[in-house]
Amino acid sequence: MSKFAVLGYGVVGSGVVELFYTNRDSITSKAGQSMDIKYILDIRDFPNSPYEDKFVKSIETILSDDEVTAVAECMGGVHPAYEFVKACLEKGKSVSTSNKQLVAEKGAELLKVAKEHHCNFFFEASVGGAIPIIRPLHKCLAANEITEVAGILNGTTNFILTKMINEHMEFETALAMAQELGYAEKDPTADVEGDDACRKICIISSLVYGKHVYPNSVYTKGITDISLDDVKYAQKWGGAIKLIAYVKKLDNGKIIPLVCPMLVSNENLIAHVDDVFNAVMVCGNGIDKTLFYGRGAGKLPTASAVLGDIINEVQHSETVLSQYWEDTNSTDFIADYSEFTAQMYFRIKGSNTLVPEGAETICTDDDDYTVFITKPMSIADSERLCASIAENNGMVVSTIPVLDIK
């Protein structure tokens, strides 16, 4: 029998326990051996829980028990999750985690520790919840040269933008609704400022391109500056504004990872992903494009991904080498954000004579706004255009890149 432990009994941890015992027969059949949860680590007491006899308060209980061969880390945050996970791996216990912050900041180190101790560090649940994306990237799509990955990786911001698009709801009102429904935290900063999506694109970028991409190397901008005017003009153009996590490999071999609002054409399925759903589009030289879609968060969807990793872990007696990347002290493989090239949406106060040659004009008269979309240009060139508009008595109200994948 294979026995595993669950670290943390919050939303995800309790979901792992619930889903395991609900589907235990199916899970053990797929694992090829009987399985059970031996310990649940939490500092709190749960006297009325049917699993009361499984709760422990010290990680040492789990570390010292050789019967425990796998661990589901569902605590969140970096500390003490990092210390606990590293200690488990050093004991040869494989770990499955839903903790995107941990993987984004410590993934390279923990993967190395797992390899050294002939076990595994899996994290399918850390990106996209129930959406299978990590395993397909390093297994199913391994024959491809991945050129771009773009997607909606945060359900909270997508819910807010959906309300703004479909119901013309102001940002603050949509955020309050998301909080009331439990989609957004009391402090929504990590979601609305793009930090959550940033961690997830770091994980994808690291896995796809083989070197650890840290959050501080990723240009990140959230949705707090998006107005209903921008939403309206995006619809008039034939698209929608979405918070996009993106990484592209350039011709020189460098990559550009970023998170920011983008205009997405209605020709792209991502433009039609609404509410708390997530979607990830992967572009490769063999597959062209493929889209992964589903619930990106939630108790049972995330638990499903965690348990999928646990099943995989009990089936492997050695490290799965394809799920690996290297750490590096250099960021030379990451291009500067200013090199990112795309068509650019501009909304300005001022005369339509300020529209650059070759741009597509969307509007020239609503509330004295001039709205246009340029030909492809670098971020550096768009900043120079902003300066030129200002010198000619115009005021740039907003600029948004256009996602060029259709």
Catalytic residue ranges: 200
The pair of structure tokens assigned to 11 is 């939303």
The pair phi, psi for residue 195, each rounded to 5°, is -65, -40
Which pairing describes strands 288-295 and 277-284: parallel, antiparallel, or unpaired? Answer: antiparallel
Q: What are phi and psi of 304, to 5 degrees?
A: -60, -45
- Pairing assessment for the beta strands 68-73 and 2-7 based on DSSP bridges: parallel
- Answer yes or no: are the C-beta atoms of 141 and 185 closer than 8 Å: no
The DSSP letter of residue 7 is: E
Between CA 53 and CA 163 the distance in angstroms is: 45
Collapse the DSSP code of 48 into the 3-class scheme (helix H, G, I; strand E, B; otherwise coil) and give the result: coil
Are 197 and 154 in contact by the 8 Å Cβ rule? The answer is: yes
Q: How far apart are CA 301 and CA 12, in angstroms?
A: 9
Rounded CA-CA distance 2/70 in Å is 8
Nearby residues of 385 by Cβ (< 8 Å), 6 or more positions away: 344, 346, 356, 374, 377
**Contact by Cβ (8 Å): 193, 220:** yes
216 Rama sector, left if φ>0, alpha if ψ -120 to 50, beta otherwise: alpha
- Distance CA(295)–CA(154), nearest Å, equals 10
Q: Cα 205 to the chain's mean position, in Å?
A: 11
* Contacts for 167 with CB less than 8 Å, ≥ 6 apart: none
